[in-house]
């Protein structure tokens, strides 16, 4: 059963920096999901991304498969229907996606050395597609960094604590298309927690996102015009030693309609060492998780989401 309980709403333009940090901190210690309103990303840019996304997914399958993630590498490119299984117990997910990462130049040393999660982006032959996506990528990056400054303040850290760990991040802008399901219990995206630090999600007017509360109850997260749905991920949970806890969520598209969403997964630099923030560990206690490089952590999580046989 899915309950109709509203997620918290955070107004990014209200109050002073300390009050905003406290508000975000309360949510991240609680349900871990919130609507973010009055943020800095222009709505005309969001609409343009949705329009370009619709055009891409409407293209012939052969054109999309020419950009296949298996060919491109680096977690970039097209992922086809039922290519992933976020909850293997429920089977493969009824969704397709296009991943866009940090846009590096061909002569970037990390491109030349094929460093982890470093590849050139691939672009469909759609007028204005690349320019629209890169503008959105930059706008969401600025917003995500601003949220991280609030998080650092909440955790009694210097405001720029996370900044150096996101100089060339493994961020993924993911365009998502969920076809209309043939059955009400068909899974668009299986139950999972996000892998990185922070997710900024924009959705169309079709619902389907559901969030699991700390009490184990599923609640709906319906679209809210002009808002991002924001949640913390497992990487930030590790950094905070479970002071913040990531929240399971899923997509069940019961609408009978197609659903589109835009996920911006803000992951740290590949070489960032993810280890417990000292202030988040009780005196005399050991951290809950061993240190790990961000690239190694993300690689392990992505491999686990592949259906068997792929």
Structure confidence by residue, pLDDT tens digits, 10-61: 999 987 899 999 999 999 999 999 999 999 999 999 999 999 999 999 999 9
Dist. CA 275–CA 294, nearest whole Å: 10
Q: Which residue has the higher pLDDT, 100 or 115?
A: 100
pLDDT at 308 over 60: no
Average pLDDT over residues 168-197: 90
**Percent of the chain at pLDDT exceeding 90:** 85
pLDDT of residue 4: 54
Domain boundaries, the chain: 2-304
CATH architecture of the domain covering 2-304: Sandwich (2.60)
Tell me which DSSP letter residue 136 carries.
H
Cα torsion 277, 304, 296, 116: sign = negative
Q: Is 130 exposed, middle or buried (0-12, 13-18, 19+ CB in 10 A)?
A: middle
Average pLDDT over residues 217-227: 95
Give the lowest-confidence range in 65-79, 82-96, 182-196, 274-288.
182-196
Tell me the average pLDDT of the chain.
93
Dist. CA 220–CA 3, nearest whole Å: 6
pLDDT of residue 158: 94
Cα torsion 44, 50, 53, 55: sign = negative
Would you place residue 284 in the very low, low, confident or very high pLDDT band (cuts 50, 70, 90)? very high
b vs e for 171-206, b when ≥16 Cβ sit within 10 Å of the residue's Cβ?
A: bbbbbbbbbebeeeebbbbbbbbbbbbbbbbbbbeb
pLDDT of residue 184: 63
**Percent of the chain at pLDDT exceeding 70:** 95
Average pLDDT over residues 137-153: 97
pLDDT of residue 116: 87
Residue listed under structure tokens 């949970």: 237
pLDDT of residue 15: 75
Q: Which residue has the higher pLDDT, 165 or 304?
A: 165
Tell me which DSSP letter residue 41 carries.
S
């Amino acid at each position: 059963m899915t309950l109709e309980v509203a997620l918290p709403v955070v107004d990014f333009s209200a109050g002073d920096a300390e009050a905003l940090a406290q508000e975000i901190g309360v949510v991240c210690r609680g349900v871990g999901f919130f609507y973010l309103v009055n943020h800095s990303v222009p709505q005309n840019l969001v609409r343009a991304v949705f329009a370009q996304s619709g055009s891409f997914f409407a293209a012939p399958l052969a054109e999309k498969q020419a950009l296949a993630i298996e060919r491109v590498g680096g977690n970039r490119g097209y992922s086809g229907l039922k290519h992933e299984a976020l909850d293997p117990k429920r089977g493969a997910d009824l969704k397709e996606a296009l991943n866009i990462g940090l846009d590096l130049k061909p002569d970037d040393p990390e491109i030349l050395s094929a460093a982890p999660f470093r590849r050139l982006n691939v672009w469909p032959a759609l007028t204005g597609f690349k320019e629209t996506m890169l503008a959105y990528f930059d706008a969401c990056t600025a917003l995500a960094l601003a949220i991280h400054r609030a998080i650092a303040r909440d955790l009694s850290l210097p405001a720029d604590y996370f900044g150096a760990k996101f100089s060339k991040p493994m961020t993924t802008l993911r365009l998502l298309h969920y076809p209309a399901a043939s059955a009400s219990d068909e899974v668009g995206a299986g139950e999972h927690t996000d892998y990185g630090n922070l997710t900024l999600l924009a959705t169309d007017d079709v619902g389907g996102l559901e969030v699991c509360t700390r009490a184990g109850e599923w609640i709906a997260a319906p679209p809210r015009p002009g808002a991002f749905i924001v949640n913390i991920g497992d990487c930030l949970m590790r950094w905070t030693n479970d002071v913040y806890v990531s929240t399971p969520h899923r997509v069940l598209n019961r609408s009978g309609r197609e659903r589109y969403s835009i996920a911006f997964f803000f992951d740290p630099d590949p070489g960032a060492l993810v280890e417990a923030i000292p202030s988040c560990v009780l005196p005399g206690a050991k951290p809950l998780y061993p240190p790990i490089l961000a690239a190694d952590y993300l690689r392990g999580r992505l491999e686990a989401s592949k259906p068997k046989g792929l």
